Structure 1
Amino acid sequence: MRHDDRTPTGDVRQYDLTRRIYRALVMHYVEGLKQAEIARLTGQSIATVSRLIKQGHDLGMVEITVRAPFQPSLELERRLARAAGLMEALVVPNLSANDEVALASVGEAAAGLLLSRLKDGDTICISGGKGVSALVAGLNPARRYDVSVVPATGLVEGPLYTDVNYVAAQMAEKLGGRAHRIHAPMFADTVDQRAMLIDMRSTRDILDRARHADIAVVGVGSVTPAGSSYYDLHPELADDRTEIERSGAEAELLAHLLDGAGRVCRYQMNDRLVAVTPEELSRVPFSMGVAVGPAKIGPIRAVLRGRHLKGLVTDETTADAVLPGLEAEAPAARS
């Protein structure tokens, strides 16, 4: 069904197109890059870059300087990418005060970013979670993609958005690709059982595919709020809050607890995980996080400090709250 440009969906799509035009104009006219260089850096074709630049001219965005209709969000993107060392930051305008609408808008924008980088033959590894599920819901590709979608973690019982096999199957169906399933649990009962599960051929093959993916799409989880969905991943976690607090955990990434600096915490359940590690995630050519909301401010900041992601999609309010701590640390990080 076609959406009217006046709907929230249309607003997000128009915003995504405008920011892509703006970025191409800045890279070409301000940074002095050739269209082929812009295409390589943004994962687009030269023809697409040329079309974006032409659209910018047609829209009157090029004079002596480059004008941006969504300047506040675009400025937040520039600052966030610079402070966190990201290849891509996408900050969605707050179109509604409703949390579900905000998540849907961010998910649709993240879907657009994924499609702008996706090409036939790619492998996408994913986590479960509300952010990734929102991206899948927002997918509306213009064509089918010959791609593979693989889980980056083991399985956990719970709502559908936590079932990584289900989310992978939904993404593959929308893209026209293939989904691979994992049959191991997210948490092993013991460290020895984890080693056995990791060594099983079926599990090893799935996780190897995930480690060598071209694109990763993951959620960023909170830990400290009483209602954090992290505690729904395993029955033992709910009784382990004291130890979790003692570990210094501030974020969850691929079910790993991370401290405020983005380092994997010394916590016994981390040692029993059947999942790609944050360090392995950081080696994926383009790893994209999707997260929004007040509970995600600290976790996003921790994950970005750890340099585990190359891209982030969030909303204006969340980005504006994440930035101060990162920008204060940026000079020290670059020295």
Structure 2
Amino acid sequence: MLKEKEDEAFSFVSEVCWHYYINGMTQAEIGTALGVTRLRVNQAIQKAKALGIVKVQIESPFLPRVEQQNDLRAALGLDQVLIAPANRDQYDFHTPVGAALASFLSRHLETAGWQKIGVSWGMTLQRAITHMARQNFPDLEIISMIGGTTKGAIFNSFGIASGFAERLGASYSLLAAPIFLSEGIDREAFLGQEIFREHLAKFEQLDAAILTASDISARSYLVSSGLPSTDHAERLLQLGAIGDVVGRFLDAEGHSVTNDLDARTIGITLDTLAAIPEKILVAAGPHKVNVIRAAARHGLVTMLITDDVTADLLLATA
């Protein structure tokens, strides 16, 4: 019983610090959100400093909401779920889950033995990079799994792969191609170049993949900056697509949606992705609930990192 009380107190301190340092909430706002006084919030922050919990990032195995995590893991049929508390009044679906990914990787990479990690793109992964402490894994290689765009350089596939590598002291390999080829270009001939053959072969050797998912709306980086034309989004919706993972589109049941972009897409295939041992999907927001579930149904996820707002919605519609 004493151990349980200690664990509960430590979990409370960790959650207070998450809201204060990651979500940028005031002590009064945290007190209201958690149903405690401002004094207790202040005491928790001071205790965290005294215990060394607060450093460059918050490290605590008690941070996830264990019951909710276990319920969601069972509902989606996953190996692991990590849930970050969000600021519900000023909701940001990138920062909390990005910070949670950073915390997870900082701990997990010490023992995982990974040598090759595939990465996707997006603002959530960029937020993870900004929250990561520098480490040194010279034998680790970060590999971009999709082509890039000429826009959004900080968080497209080129920036994400190099960003993770810089923080982790690792090497990186870029898929130096557009995510969608222009019409009329022979895809087989294009990918037959030695530089692309070598890169695509690395997809079969990945130990883990770090993924994002998007719906089909202007909030999606792929839709706003990657699709060849605005007409493609409407056509995809008409075909039953509800979102994408690595530029491959899924319907609500997790089935691949065949479309005219398939032959022009440069990146990992869903079959190859599904065969990777560990697949970490980092995604949050009410607009991503359906595509998160679809990705899990397709077998593209072994671990989900999300926030409590999204977890509530996923469980409510399970």
CA distance in 1, matches of 2:177, 2:264: 12
Query: Normalized against structure 2, the TM-score is what?
Result: 0.77
CA distance in 2, matches of 1:142, 1:275: 28
**Counterparts in 2 of 1:214-293, with a 5 A limit?**
214-223=207-216, 225-234=217-226, 236-293=228-285
Match of 2:153 in 1: 160
Question: Are the structure 2 counterparts of residues 120 and 146 from structure 1 closer, same or farther at C-alpha, using a change threshold of 3 Å?
Answer: farther
Q: Which residues of structure 2 form unaligned runs of 5+?
A: 1-15, 23-53
**Counterparts in 2 of 1:147-226, with a 5 A limit?**
147-190=140-183, 193-223=186-216, 225-226=217-218
* SS at structure 2 position matched to 1:18: coil
CA distance in 2, matches of 1:137, 1:14: 14
* SS at structure 1 position matched to 2:229: helix
4+ long deviations beyond 6 Å = none
Question: Are the structure 2 counterparts of residues 277 and 161 from structure 1 closer, same or farther at C-alpha, using a change threshold of 3 Å?
Answer: farther
Compute the displacement of 1:209 (Å): 1.3
Match of 2:61 in 1: 17
Q: Which residues of structure 1 form unaligned runs of 5+?
A: 20-69, 327-335
CA displacement, residues 6-41 of structure 1 (integer Å, 9 cap, x when unaligned): 73244996574215xxxxxxxxxxxxxxxxxxxxxx
Q: Would the aligned equivalents of 2:251 and 2:294 in 1 still touch at CA under 8 Å?
A: yes
CA distance in 1, matches of 2:80, 2:114: 22
CA distance in 2, matches of 1:191, 1:218: 30
**Counterparts in 2 of 1:38-187, with a 5 A limit?**
73-95=65-87, 97-100=89-92, 102-118=93-109, 119=112, 122-141=115-134, 143-187=136-180
Match of 2:310 in 1: 318
CA displacement, residues 176-216 of structure 1 (integer Å, 9 cap, x when unaligned): 01011222211112476222222222112112213321111
Query: Normalized against structure 1, the TM-score is what?
Result: 0.73
Tell me how large the CA RMSD over aligned residues is. 2.5
CA distance in 1, matches of 2:301, 2:184: 27
CA displacement, residues 118-158 of structure 1 (integer Å, 9 cap, x when unaligned): 24561111011112212222211555453100100112121
Structure with the higher helix share, 1 or 2:
1
Q: Would the aligned equivalents of 2:135 and 2:167 in 1 still touch at CA under 8 Å?
A: no
User: What's the % identity of the aligned pairs?
Assistant: 22
Match of 2:21 in 1: 8
* SS at structure 2 position matched to 1:105: helix
CA distance in 2, matches of 1:12, 1:103: 19
Match of 2:47 in 1: none
